[in-house]
Amino acid sequence: MQAPIIDDELWTLIEQLLPKPKRRDNESRGRPRVSDRAAFNGVPFVLHTGMRWNHLPVALGFGSGATCWRRLDAWQKAGVWDRLK
């Protein structure tokens, strides 16, 4: 996995602003949830490179582009980005 874009110190501040993920009824099934930190690191990577969300390689460790985009959308709706300013 690539080195995180968001360092530990900054992540500590950001993590407090993120809404807690809802528990799934069937957590033992399916793929494990991509960590918020991994998905959060994927957002500036895509925005900085100009890469299309669906072209984000999972091998980079951010999760899929769709996962990063869905988290970005949820965090925008929760007002996370406004509180980061």
pLDDT in tens, 18-57: 999 887 676 667 888 999 999 999 999 999 999 999 999 9
Q: Establish if 1 belongs to a structural domain.
A: no
Q: Can you tell me which residue has the tokens 């602003």? A: 17
Q: Establish if 43 belongs to a structural domain.
A: yes
**Is 1 a residue whose pLDDT tops 60?**
no
Q: What is the pLDDT of residue 17?
A: 95
pTM of the shown model: 0.84
Task: Say if residues 73 and 16 touch (Cβ distance below 8 Å).
Answer: no
Task: Say if residues 67 and 41 touch (Cβ distance below 8 Å).
Answer: no
Q: Establish if 4 belongs to a structural domain.
A: no
Q: What is the pLDDT of residue 27?
A: 63
Q: Establish if 58 belongs to a structural domain.
A: yes
Q: Can you tell me which residue has the tokens 């582009």? A: 65
Q: What is the pLDDT of residue 59?
A: 94
Task: Say if residues 39 and 67 touch (Cβ distance below 8 Å).
Answer: yes
Q: Establish if 47 belongs to a structural domain.
A: yes
User: What is the number of domains present in the chain?
Assistant: 1
